[in-house]
Amino acid sequence: MSRAQTTTAASPLAVVTGTGMGRRLVLAALAAAAADLAGVALIASAAWLITRAAEQPPLAALSVAIVAVRAFATTRGVFRYGERLAGHDVALRAQAGTRERLYRALIPAGPLPQRGADLLSRMVDDTDAVQDLLVRCLLPAVAALITGVAAVVVAGFLLPAAAFALAAGLLVAGVLLPAGTAAAARRWSARIAPARADLAARVADLVHGAADLAAYGARDRALSAAMDADGRLSRLERGQAWINAAALGVGMLTQGLTVVAVVLTAQAAGLDRVATAVAALTSLVAFEPALPLAAAGERFAGVVAALRRLGETAATPPAVREPADPAPAPEPPLTVEVDDLVVRHGGREPALNGVSLTLTPGRRVAVVGPSGAGKSTLLSALMRTVEIESGAIRLDGVDVRRLSSDDVRALVTGLTQDPYVFQATVGDNLRLAGPQASTEDIEAAVRRARLDAWTERTGWDTVLGEDGRTVSGGQLQRLALARALLYDPPVLLLDEPAEALDEETADLLMADLLDATRGRTMLLVTHRLRGLEQVDEIVVLEGGRVTQRGAHADLVAAPGYYRDLWESEALTRPRG
Amino acid sequence: MHRDLLRLARAERSVRVHLACCLAAAVAAGLLVLVQAELLAGVLSGRFAAAVLLPLALVVACRGLLGWAQGVLAGRAATALKSALRRLLLGRVEGLGPAYRSGELVTLAGRGLDALDPYLTGYLPAVAVAGVVPLAVVVRLFVADLATAVIVVLTLPLIPIFGALVGWTTKTVTERQWRALARLGGHFLDVVRGLPTLRAFGRARYQASVIREVAEAHRAATMRTLRVAFLSSLVLELVASLSLALVAVPVGLRLLSGSLDLRTALLVLLLAPEAYLPLRAMGTRFHAAMEGVAAADEVFAVVNPQQETGPEIGQETGPAAARTGAGRAAPAGGPPEIRLEDVTVRYPGREETALHRVSLVIRPGERVAIVGPSGAGKSTLLHLLLGFVTPSEGRVLADGTDLAGLDLDEWRRRLAFVPQRPHLFATSVADNIALGSADGPLNTDAAVIRAAAEAAQVAEFAGALPQGYDTPLGERGANLSAGQRQRVALARAFCRPAAQVLLLDEPTARLDGRSEAAIVAATRRLAEGRTAIIVAHRPAMIDLADRVVRLDGGALVPQVPAQGGEAR
């Protein structure tokens, strides 16, 4: 992690250069510089034209200047146009490349741990930073540098002392001020970010907890807490505005004083009127590309932070070690052996602590246990999205660590925890589990997941909303189940398929499911015991260990978690 | 300026003063450019002595100072206006009802308002400068040199005309492209969020190429649009620089013939660009400013909803407006008798009724389970009793008094509510429990909180949290399981000993067997001596009730005795 951090921090451009866009970038920078240079040259040649004309030379002496003024006036706009097109083209390419690379880096990273939805969306926003880096920071800086050097050289030909004054002024406006604003932005954002997060949390409390607050008459308290947080953030934002305004003011001051200094040195050196005017006005205009760099410096600090975060994310170590030379995937039907499996998340207590079970072809095993017992971790280990600490999982005798994780998931997969609904049509949301599936296959899977009534109502082409807003929890679960049935892996894993369904539907779904999966290799995680008499074996997990195992009838006969749960379920179940 | 925003800016003193001073500073700095050009032209033409460089330096210093003041004042105006908007917005939250697009609202009240910054700190000052400075420049040019003034006056209108023309022709295309850009970001976020699902079905690697193809197609389309859109800036740039050439060349020729003096010529050269610059500056800030206006529109659409939703939604049927602090106090005493008379509830914008002619009497101390399929109106019934929604027809009576005439704060003080998905606030466990207390978290005795936590079986897991009862919760706090969250919410109800009516919305949904048993046991204790209205779908909860009320499609289904009651 620290290695990635230093490389990204040292060169934010690493993100861009990977795509071989150097030529486009140079082109855009040259166009930007040409536009700025044309601007300076326009004023310089106009100044020369006017001051020289006042000396009333023959008209021929002015003809070159007249042509130059007209030429620079025309080309400035054209170069600017070229710069903007080339710059945006490069920026869009860079952003697309960044997103693709970030995504590819995330594929083996396993389930992004403890990352809230807002952190994910911030990550996506961070990929926009590449655009800003190019269009708002890099290209203007290069253009300002080239223009500044050119102006200093021109001034140097006229009067070396004036060139020194100009160079000093440009250094202040184009280097010192941006460096200052970048440093200030870093310092301020370190204070503003927590204040912003605090405000966001209070606002979220007020909005999401509106019912709770209203019911308990605590709304005014929460509102004043939110406004206090707003006040703290406002104070910080005002402080930041102060710094940025000061940078702006100092920039303007530097520009003006530099011009004054250039005129003063020119007059002291007895320079003629034409050269003085050209030097003064060139100095004045040479600042125009440099002055916006102070604002760019502020943005640059944010860009660097964003790129560093992206680098850290992309450097998330893979969830599992892939074998250098993967063994060929075994052919189904498969026997799955879990042998004394230990899995640990981070440095905590083992989530699974010596679990063994065997799934022979056609056998169905249910895993039950209180929340936090390690049920979902067991499925993750089977799907190779968490690493095995000790023990083994074998598919037909082949250790899964010798197989590529993609191959394992092609064999062992199904309905995972927290299934996701994409912003796509109902049909596409299903078809992702079977791109080649026929319409009949899809319809059959939908029927077996008891989703058919819903798909008939909404149609296959309805686009499901952002965050699955148009999908209720129960429908989401059934959609995910339909996907798993459509994918039809040799070993089917189901994590709480009846979760979030109402009692009646859950019972029907479980009954259907147990009916439909007869004769298939399946591992079912559930907290509903009804119908489990149909499975071949039930494993009770508690605290990462198997505390009981056997058929339903055996477990009900023995004291323990299973019997307790069964009794409380049976007691409260209306005659069933 | 935005009409509603202007009204708000006028009403808020700190916004008004700071904004006015900020605009004044911007205009003053813009006018100082004229003075600077005057002095510079004088010095360079040799008309003024070198001593003029001192006033020139002073003018420059004043410009710097004014630029700084403008930025500081703009920052103050912006933060003050954002605070005012935030207060307006958050003040409306309760009136919007619990289900109002909450995610969008949180974003809008947080980062969304920051879109106003470029509008206030960049665009408005630019507009003020553009309104004054070109005019002043033209006046000065008329005095100095008529020919130049005429050229500038003739070309100056080309900038807004071409700007508007090109902007108008590309507006729809550009807007579509910006929306496509937002959608592209949405697509990427969608794929990243769904990565675990894609991985489970072996589609993760395939999506990487989809990301590239979508982005490439988007880039190509965007560049096609930009080629046209950037024409506007090309035209503006050309107008400005060609006008300068148009001014400079004739001026040079007239100098040659001796019909113009050098000082005037230099002044004209320095001043002419300053006539175009403010207009172009305003144009470049326009797009960012419009995003701020869009944010302001969103805020005002929430704050003044009638503008958006139209008059067909009767006020009385909408979610209850904040009606607190007024009305009669609820009659005190034991648990009230609650009577619904022919109550119909209709949500704005929906065809079907959420509750349809429901009549129901709940006796003091009775425990009633409300059952029915999802969407039957169970939660609406609770929200009705809480005053979150008001009946479109019929009335709700507490001890014979219409709820509509009661002081809602007073009435709610007699209720304890455990919602289906309780919200855990970004404070400590203890403060989350103390929310239930009528005295507020600061004035609630720690012992009272502990007792409530014991009763709701929060104590079981609170001890294991990193900082015990002081552990922060919420989005960035400790992650509690669904069962633990429910128990915290139940503890809130225990923290409210004066509550006479218990309203529980599916408190055991999403819980496993043991957590459920714990909640049921705690609820049983809590319901003692109180009226309890429990929306339930799990048998264990239904078992607790004296009576089961079944709702279907918003209507009451003839009552049946509780199954569990029979079994006992």
Q: Closest chain A residue to B502 measured between Cα atoms?
A: A215
Please identify among residues 326-365 of chain B the ones whose CB lies closer than 8 Å to any CB of chain A.
none
B75 plus B171 within the same structural domain:
no
Taking only the tens place, the pLDDT of each residue in A148-204 is 999 999 999 999 999 999 999 999 999 999 999 999 999 998 898 889 888 888 888
Closest-CA distance, B196 to chain A, in angstroms, reads 6
Mutate which: B195, B205, B228, B505, vs A, most A CBs within 10 A: B195
Whether A49 and chain B come into contact, CB under 8 Å, resolves to yes
Taking only the tens place, the pLDDT of each residue in B451-472 is 888 888 888 888 888 888 888 8
Closest C-alpha to A277, from A47, A55, A37: A47
Please identify among residues 54-113 of chain B the ones whose CB lies closer than 8 Å to any CB of chain A.
56-57, 59-61, 63-72, 74-76, 78-80, 82-83, 86-87, 90-91, 93-94, 96, 98, 102-103, 105-106, 109-111
Alpha helices in A291-337 (DSSP H): 293-314
B344 plus B358 within the same structural domain:
yes
Number of Cβ pairs closer than 8 Å across A and B? 429
B225 plus B373 within the same structural domain:
no
CATH code of residue B482: 3.40.50.300
User: Is B44 in contact with A51 (Cβ distance < 8 A)?
Assistant: yes
Mean pLDDT of A28-55: 94
pLDDT for A28 beyond 90: yes
Mean pLDDT of A258-278: 92
| Per-residue model confidence (pLDDT) at position B220 | 86
Q: Closest chain A residue to B261 measured between Cα atoms?
A: A54
User: Is A370 in contact with B59 (Cβ distance < 8 A)?
Assistant: no
For the domain A336-419+487-572, what is the CATH superfamily, name and number?
A: P-loop containing nucleotide triphosphate hydrolases (3.40.50.300)
Strand partners, B323: none
B306 plus B181 within the same structural domain:
no
Better pLDDT: B165 or A30: A30
B508 plus B483 within the same structural domain:
no
C-alpha A35/C-alpha A28 separation (Å) is 11
Q: Closest chain B residue to A247 measured between Cα atoms?
A: B68
pLDDT for A567 beyond 60: yes
Q: Which residues on B lie below 8 Å from A527 (Cβ)?
A: 512-513
Report the sign of the C-alpha dihedral through residues A128, A132, A133, A135, in that order: positive
Q: How many CA atoms lie within 13 A of A362 on its CB side?
A: 1
Confidence of residue A139 (pLDDT cuts 50, 70, 90): very high
Whether B378 and chain A come into contact, CB under 8 Å, resolves to no
B521 plus B379 within the same structural domain:
yes
How many angstroms separate the Cα of A457 from the Cα of each of A426, A452, B395? 11, 9, 35
| Per-residue model confidence (pLDDT) at position A150 | 95
Mean pLDDT of B259-270: 92
B301 plus B173 within the same structural domain:
no
The residue whose two tokens read 């005037």 is B264
In this structure, the strands spanning B501-505 and B555-561 are unpaired
Alpha helices in B343-419 (DSSP H): 378-386, 408-412
| Per-residue model confidence (pLDDT) at position A570 | 65
Q: Which residues on A lie below 8 Å from B193 (Cβ)?
A: 117, 120, 420
Taking residue B405's Cβ as centre, other Cβ atoms within 10 Å add up to: 12
Whether B238 and chain A come into contact, CB under 8 Å, resolves to yes
pLDDT for A85 beyond 80: yes
- The class (CATH top level) of A2-314 is mainly alpha
Residue B315 lies in a domain: no
Q: A325: phi > 0 → left, psi -120 to 50 → alpha, else beta; which?
A: beta
For the entire predicted model, the pTM comes to: 0.80
Written as six digits, the tokens of A42 are: 């326009």
For B10, the domain range is 1-145+287-310
Taking only the tens place, the pLDDT of each residue in A204-228 is 888 878 888 888 888 888 899 899 9
B291 plus B224 within the same structural domain:
no
Residue B475 lies in a domain: yes
User: Is B514 in contact with A565 (Cβ distance < 8 A)?
Assistant: yes
B40 plus B29 within the same structural domain:
yes
pLDDT for B501 beyond 90: yes
Whether A520 and chain B come into contact, CB under 8 Å, resolves to no
CATH 1.20.1560.10 residue spans of chain A: 2-314
B107 plus B64 within the same structural domain:
yes
Mean pLDDT of A400-411: 92
Q: Which residues on B lie below 8 Å from A203 (Cβ)?
A: 86, 90, 106, 109-110
Taking only the tens place, the pLDDT of each residue in B308-352 is 333 333 333 334 443 444 445 444 568 899 999 999 988 776 677
pLDDT for A426 beyond 60: yes
* C-beta separation of B335 from B501 below 8 A: yes
Beta strand extents in A360-502 (DSSP E only): 364-368, 390-395, 398-399, 412-415, 491-495
Q: Which residues on A lie below 8 Å from B198 (Cβ)?
A: 432
B17 plus B127 within the same structural domain:
yes
pLDDT for B376 beyond 60: yes
A415, with CB counted inside 10 A (0-12, 13-18, 19+), is buried
* C-beta separation of A433 from A484 below 8 A: yes
Peptide bond preceding A333: is omega within 30 degrees of 0, i.e. cis?
A: yes
B168, with CB counted inside 10 A (0-12, 13-18, 19+), is exposed
User: Is B188 in contact with A573 (Cβ distance < 8 A)?
Assistant: no
| Per-residue model confidence (pLDDT) at position A116 | 55
Residue B84 lies in a domain: yes
| Per-residue model confidence (pLDDT) at position B96 | 59
C-alpha A211/C-alpha A68 separation (Å) is 71
Mean pLDDT of A84-109: 87
C-alpha B385/C-alpha B273 separation (Å) is 69
pLDDT for B517 beyond 90: no
Task: Classify A521 as helix, strand or coil.
Answer: strand
| B325-358 exposure pattern, b = at least 16 Cβ within 10 A, e = fewer | eebeebeeeebbbbbbbebbbbbeeeeebbbbeb
The residue whose two tokens read 């590819």 is A104
How many angstroms separate the Cα of A62 from the Cα of each of A52, A65, B241, B249? 8, 5, 19, 10
Taking only the tens place, the pLDDT of each residue in B520-547 is 888 888 888 899 999 887 777 888 889 9
Mutate which: A216, A376, A564, vs B, most B CBs within 10 A: A216
pLDDT for B94 beyond 70: no
Closest-CA distance, B283 to chain A, in angstroms, reads 16
Written as six digits, the tokens of A397 are: 């005798």
Residue B355 lies in a domain: yes
Q: Closest chain A residue to B515 measured between Cα atoms?
A: A370
Mutate which: B247, B255, B437, B566, vs A, most A CBs within 10 A: B255
Beta strand extents in A96-169 (DSSP E only): none
Closest C-alpha to B120, from B164, B70, B65: B70
Task: Say how many Å lie between the first and final Cα of chain B, rounded.
Answer: 71
Q: Closest chain B residue to A40 measured between Cα atoms?
A: B241
- The three-point CA angle B479-B483-B487 to 5° equals 95
User: Is B71 in contact with A242 (Cβ distance < 8 A)?
Assistant: yes
Mutate which: A475, A572, A573, vs B, most B CBs within 10 A: A572
The residue whose two tokens read 């006005």 is A281
Closest-CA distance, B360 to chain A, in angstroms, reads 22
Q: Please state, for a pLDDT cut of 70, what percent of chain A lies above it.
A: 91
Task: Quote the ipTM score.
Answer: 0.81
| Per-residue model confidence (pLDDT) at position B568 | 35
What is the count of structural domains for chain B? 4
Mean pLDDT of A400-408: 93
H or E element at residue B8: helix B3-11
C-alpha A159/C-alpha A166 separation (Å) is 11
| Per-residue model confidence (pLDDT) at position A284 | 94
Whether B496 and chain A come into contact, CB under 8 Å, resolves to yes
pLDDT for A41 beyond 80: yes
Q: Closest chain B residue to A111 measured between Cα atoms?
A: B196
pLDDT for B48 beyond 60: yes
C-alpha A345/C-alpha A348 separation (Å) is 6
Mean pLDDT of A479-492: 91
Closest-CA distance, A464 to chain B, in angstroms, reads 12
Give me chain B's average pLDDT, please: 82
pLDDT for A533 beyond 80: yes
Closest-CA distance, A565 to chain B, in angstroms, reads 6
C-alpha A560/C-alpha A537 separation (Å) is 16
Alpha helices in A386-448 (DSSP H): 405-411, 426-431, 439-448
| Per-residue model confidence (pLDDT) at position A498 | 79
Closest-CA distance, B178 to chain A, in angstroms, reads 13
Q: Closest chain A residue to B562 measured between Cα atoms?
A: A574
Please identify among residues 169-208 of chain A the ones whose CB lies closer than 8 Å to any CB of chain B.
196-197, 199-208
For helices A177-208 and A293-314, the axis angle rounded to 10 degrees is: 60
Whether A463 and chain B come into contact, CB under 8 Å, resolves to no
Whether A1 and chain B come into contact, CB under 8 Å, resolves to no
Give me chain A's average pLDDT, please: 86
Residue B271 lies in a domain: no
Q: Which residues on A lie below 8 Å from B241 (Cβ)?
A: 39, 42, 72-74, 76-77
C-alpha A143/C-alpha B294 separation (Å) is 33
* C-beta separation of A383 from A444 below 8 A: no
Taking only the tens place, the pLDDT of each residue in B355-373 is 889 999 999 999 999 988 7
* C-beta separation of A243 from B10 below 8 A: no
Q: Closest chain B residue to A251 measured between Cα atoms?
A: B64
CATH 3.40.50.300 residue spans of chain A: 336-419+487-572
Please identify among residues 272-291 of chain A the ones whose CB lies closer than 8 Å to any CB of chain B.
273, 276-277, 280-281, 284
Taking only the tens place, the pLDDT of each residue in B407-459 is 888 888 888 998 877 888 888 888 888 888 877 767 778 888 888 888 888 88
Closest-CA distance, B422 to chain A, in angstroms, reads 7
B32 plus B102 within the same structural domain:
yes
Q: Which residues on A lie below 8 Å from B223 (Cβ)?
A: 85, 88-89, 92
Taking only the tens place, the pLDDT of each residue in B139-193 is 999 999 999 999 999 999 988 888 777 777 766 776 777 677 667 777 888 888 8
Whether B35 and chain A come into contact, CB under 8 Å, resolves to no
Out of B60, B75, B438, name the one closest to residue A238 (CB): B75
Phi, psi at B421, each rounded to 5° = -125, 85
Closest C-alpha to A353, from A341, A345, A365: A341
Out of A117, A237, A574, name the one closest to residue B79 (CB): A237
